[in-house]
Amino acid sequence: MKQRHGKIAERISTIFNYFTGHDISNFTSYNKFTSLMFTSVDGSSLGICRMLFGIMMLLDITEERGGSDLDLRWGEIKDCRFPLFSFIKAFSLAKMGLIYFLMWLGCIGIILGYKFKSSCLAFVITYWYIFLLDKSSWNNHSYLYGLVAFIFLFTDAHHFCSIDSWSYKLNSTSVPFWNYFLLKFQFFILYFIAGLKKFSFEWLNGYSMTNLSHHWIFSPFRLLLGAELTNLFIIHWFATLFDTSIVFFLIYKKSRRIATFFAIAFHLMNSRLFNIGMFPFVCVVQLPLFYEHNWPRTLWRKLKCSSCRPTDERNEKRVVLERTLSFSNDTKKMEEVEFRSKKRCTLKEKFTTLLILIYCCLQLLLPYSHSLTKGYSNWRHLYGYSWDMMMSEWSTMLVSVRIVDNGNNKQHFMEPLAFSDSYRWTQYPDMTYQYAQCINQNLIRDFYENPNTLLSSDNFSIYFDIWSSLNGRFQQRVYNPTVDLVRSEWHPFVEPSFILPLLSDLTHLKREIEEISREVYSWSNSSDLLFIADFPGLSLDNYIPPIMDNVTLTVLSGIVKFEQENDTSTITLSQGQSIHVKSGVFHKVTTVSDTPSYFLYTYINSTHQFNDVQNSAESQKHEMQTKAIFSTLAQELRARYENYKKFFYHVANSFLFEFYSVPMPRRLREFHDM
């Protein structure tokens, strides 16, 4: 029996070594694992990845970090910020320009490997400060940049192809194996957790990215499968398979090249599909981490030898010599691992290994921390550190900000983007609460600083009425419009009282709803519809523009009371009943049933009533293709060049203001529609 178990263990060890290149015994004890982490390996691959990552961050500064729009992002003192912690405050515009410049210098130092630790620290501190200062700009890949930079800070990535290695004459280009392990683990988490999050009903049924299949990228797939199957198989199922498996194929040596091809194609497609900055390119330039640690030296040696054009005999000798050296290196590495495993690890090495394991555990647990951090969760309980790549598709119909001056009990309606440049705050309760508090502070400041203000007191109530749809559901209220957010409470670990639940009672009728939609769209090219859901006791005040004709309201579930402007009559509608709605006037729909109501509007846009269906569809298709085709590399490079010109212009103005008190020119932000 012992002999049989021994053979099974040996077989498992052989398979593990075959697929990963590591002996499974290195993971059987803390001492052996520590020895593996501190095994010396070639640092050339790490050095190349360091340089490429720095270049990507250099481009990111002027784009997603907002370096080219410093004046718009940080210039207005009344603008509302959404920091993770309330004590984090923004500096003046000029000082923010200097902070951005320090981050830029950190990138340059990372690329050149000059004073690497100091450069990396400068980038990490400034990056995370700007990142934590405003949650409205958060994306999963924004976390990734900060985490990778944080890992690089503790590595010896400057031991190869760097000014430090030349100026300080570093004798060895070797680095501890954990330098590679931690970076590869971070990208494993990125892909694998994103794949696990996709194992949900909505994603696997193709409800999350419903319109993506019409993009020109998927034209070949649409020819073979059609739009619906392309949406289901290619966009949803293949993305799930890719995310959960790609790292395993990258680790396995024999599948590494084909996996690299698929990974590059996948990320380049994403760069065309989504506005996600440098994220696809960061993932691409870090793929070499999964190759041999000395691949840059091997590549250089091959290029050098090929330039010499050796004879067949010399070529044969060179190949034999390379194989001998490769075998010798592998043998030497195995002997070193075996020697280190027998050698007693130092206390410092064991402590470092403990920190590595703690970091890995945090990366595994944090994406699932939403059951604890309920104050940040939206309908899907996915927000912030979750790696939920493109899991949710939001469609916002209405954002209303109602302010009540409690001094004279007068109501005022405010432009939703008066103090913010993004509607991102509408989707998450923590930012919604912060925005209400910020508006209140601005109103109080305006009351005391502006004597001509129409405000009668410094006592205000603020109510938000926000209607959104998640993944093709009915449009519904996100927050309770009767709750005063100035006086409400918010806590990071308690579910907010002002958020309304996601209405999914008719989810099982999704197919029937799709059939209704197809029928309405078949009426004419200008016919459209809108699905609405509302809670008992609440009213929807709606205005139908004159350009809308043949507007009909139909109740699908529940009971509503319908009232129309200039009409004293009140009509009660129940399931299946409809009513014609006049254009150019307000009407009110109140839910009077004990359960939520579900209803829909069907209408015709008269301005497009005489458009031909086929011509309109072809025009839309041509527009998407033209937009994609003309988004060429040359145009993107030109745009990045212009962004850098604006960035250095802002930085120069920051220096002139701080050191010579020269006034800073600043643009004004324009309001934009949803």
Residues with active-site annotation: 198
- Cα–Cα distance between 190 and 141 in angstroms, integer? 9
Tokens of 46: 């790490």
- Strands (E) across 95-198 are located at 174-176
Phi, psi dihedral angles at 422 (to 5 degrees): -150, 145
**Element spanning 96, H or E:** helix 93-112
CA dihedral 476, 482, 484, 490 (to 10 degrees): -50
- Cα–Cα distance between 135 and 85 in angstroms, integer? 10
Residues 6+ apart with CB under 8 A from 604: 523, 524, 526, 527, 528, 548, 549, 550
Rounded to the nearest 10 degrees, the angle between the axes of helix 30-37 and helix 347-365 is 90
Q: Compute the radius of gyration of the chain from its Cα atoms.
A: 30
- Cα–Cα distance between 310 and 305 in angstroms, integer? 7
Buried-exposed string 111-132: b where 16+ CB fall within 10 A, e elsewhere: bbbbbbeebbbbbbebbebbbe
Identity of the amino acid at 115: K
Q: What share of the chain is helix, strand, coil (3-state, %, to 5)?
A: 55, 15, 30
Tokens of 81: 């910020």
Query: Would you call 330 exposed, middle or buried from its count of C-beta atoms within 10 A (0-12, 13-18, 19+)?
Result: exposed
Tokens of 171: 């004798």
Rounded to the nearest 10 degrees, the angle between the axes of helix 633-660 and helix 44-62 is 70
Could you please report the per-residue DSSP string of 608-625? GTT--HHHHHHHHHHHHH
Work out the number of other CB atoms within 10 angstroms of the CB of residue 40: 16
